[in-house]
Amino acid sequence: MDYPIWDIAMGGGVLMGIVAITHVIVSHFAIGGGLVIAVTETLSVKRNDPEMRNLAKRSSLVLILFSTVFGAISGVGIWVVAGLISPAAISALIRNFVWGWAIEWVFFIVEIVAALVYFATWNKISKRAHVMVIWIYFIAAYLSLVIINGIVTFMLTPGKWLQTGAFWDGFFNPTYFPSLVLRTGIVILMAVAFMVWPARKAADEARLKLNRYLGKWAVVGALISYAGYRWWEAALPDTVQSLFLGKGALLDGLAMTRHEVMWSVAVFLVLSIIFLLLMPKMAKVIPLLLITIAAFSFFGTYERLREGTRKPFIIHDYMFSNGVLVQEVGELNEKGMLSKARWAARVPATDSVEMGRQVFDAQCRSCHTIDGYLSIRELAPEDPDMTYSILYALYDQGEMFTALEPGEAVAMGDLNYPFMPPFVGTEEEMEALVDFIASLTTPEGEAAAKGGV
């Protein structure tokens, strides 16, 4: 809010979604791949099975090319994008969890060194030492998930942290363990989705065996994922559940996304049973592609659902998605939003429309653009009175949040716009925002804006 505003037509949220989803797919494969490769190589040594060993070796190339390069860089990318679109949020997270991230960094060092050593020492060191390296890799990679899961789940369900501000209260929050189980299932799903491809390169008979082997992993992964997902859903507070669960779900889009989550895991399970376990001969490119897509779809839609259910917050009950703190709503209503928006109000406004643009930049720009993603020109009503009434309803929502006692949460069903942060600011700022929006949506407004009136 008081940082410069990055004007990005595709919307910061979309960019974050692209970076985050591609990263988590690769990073979860990096963990699950580590597990499945470790077990595969261990079995190949015990059974003296060259085909299993070849699968492990071929998969390790995929692992190193994806995880140590794309995974590592896109992981930094999430930080970078978060810093660009929500600097206040990433700063709050870092201040709370810097030691958690520092610990994750330690695991990351071990993970990366182990991955590089593992890949570089095929056929060069003893089998025992080589297997040891991949197990070290997997343990370090999984421990990094154990850490980051605490920070990711904190954003949706900060739990007792809201009262205590204590690290461990935020870390072991209500959805920590359900999410850890769910992600444990997901890492196996990702491993199967990637490893069915190197398995295709095996000779005919061996390929059938490897497909059945990966099929067993697929079933285990899908069942753990499903159990973890249902537990995660059940652990969510009522206010969050009401957004997407049940017949009267408040957000249709999220309810639909939830269906996609369930269907994706079901399709993955069925396809894996048919094409990997029962008819591995039929596991050609198309069925394998469908299995991979179903796995990615499950994970991608779950991530979208998790992000969506956090609306209108970026850290639930603490910071709204535009960086406004719940606790500062009252103060900003008195002093004005622009009193804090140093960059948006860098040049003093000369008229109401200009002031409205500054309020828009400071308060709405984190989600809306003028003409791009979630375009305000398209979404806002043409009638300024209607805009005013919406903003007033959003202002009232802010009053509801400020009236809360510690430990209380607003019931989302009581909100007219449960996915929107409240309007924060003075009456003058609200009127200015109405004028600015009118300058976009009505011909008269546009003409007035151009004429500088």
Partner 1 sequence: MGNELIPALDAFPIPGPTWLFHVLLVFTFFLHMLFMNLTLGGTILAALGQLFSGGKADDFRAVMAMRLMGINTFGISLTITTGIAPLLFVQVLYQQYFYTATIMIAWTWLMSLVFLMVGYYAAYLYKFKGTPTKGSGGTAWLWISAIMFFLIAMVHVAVNLIHSQPDQWGALADNPMAILGDAAFWPRLFHFVLAGLGFSGVVVAWWAARQAGKGIEVELNTKIARYGWKWALWTTLLQIADGFLLVMVLPRPVLLGFMRGGMATMLPFTVGIAFALGLLVMLAKVSNPVEKFSTVNGTLIGMIVTIAVMSITRHQIRAIYLEPVTSQFRLETAPQWGNFVLFAVLLVAGLYTVYYMVKEVFESRAAGQDAA
Q: Which is nearer to partner 1, 83 or 372 (CB)?
A: 83
Distance in Å, CB of 71 to partner 1, minimum: 10
Distance in Å, CB of 171 to partner 1, minimum: 10
Q: Which is nearer to partner 1, 58 or 130 (CB)?
A: 130
Q: Which is nearer to partner 1, 103 or 206 (CB)?
A: 103
Q: Which is nearer to partner 1, 283 or 341 (CB)?
A: 341
Question: CA 397, CA 423: separation in Å to the nearest integer?
Answer: 8
Distance in Å, CB of 381 to partner 1, minimum: 31
Q: Which is nearer to partner 1, 398 or 445 (CB)?
A: 398
Question: CA 335, CA 16: separation in Å to the nearest integer?
Answer: 32
Contacts of residues 303-308 at CB distance under 8 Å and 24 or more positions apart, as own/partner, are 303/20, 303/21, 303/24, 304/17, 304/21, 304/257, 305/244, 305/254, 305/257, 305/258, 305/261, 306/156, 307/17, 308/243, 308/244, 308/251, 308/253, 308/254, 308/257
Question: CA 94, CA 207: separation in Å to the nearest integer?
Answer: 46
Copy the structure tokens of residue 28: 């979860």
- Which residues contact partner 1 (rule: CB under 8 A)? 2-6, 8, 65, 68-70, 72-74, 76-77, 79-81, 83-84, 87-88, 90-92, 94-96, 98-103, 105-110, 112-114, 116-117, 120-133, 136, 140, 165, 167, 325, 327, 340, 342-343, 346
In sequence order, which ranges of 64-121 are alpha helices (DSSP H)? 72-85, 87-120
Nearest to 297 by CA among 424, 142, 171, 189: 189
For 240-303, what is the HEC assignment?
A: HHHHHCCCCCCCHHHHHHHHHHHHHHHHHHHHHHHHHHHCHHHCCHHHHHHHHHHHHHHHHHHH
Q: Which is nearer to partner 1, 68 or 389 (CB)?
A: 68
Distance in Å, CB of 443 to partner 1, minimum: 30
Distance in Å, CB of 328 to partner 1, minimum: 8
Distance in Å, CB of 298 to partner 1, minimum: 26
Residue 268 contacts residue 295 (beta carbons within 8 Å): yes
Q: Which is nearer to partner 1, 117 or 208 (CB)?
A: 117
Distance in Å, CB of 302 to partner 1, minimum: 25
Question: CA 307, CA 85: separation in Å to the nearest integer?
Answer: 15
Distance in Å, CB of 220 to partner 1, minimum: 27
Q: Which is nearer to partner 1, 168 or 427 (CB)?
A: 168
Under 8 Å CB-to-CB from 446, ≥6 apart: which residues? 439, 440
Phi and psi angles of residue 15, each rounded to the nearest 5 degrees, phi first: -60, -45
Distance in Å, CB of 132 to partner 1, minimum: 7
Q: Which is nearer to partner 1, 12 or 312 (CB)?
A: 12
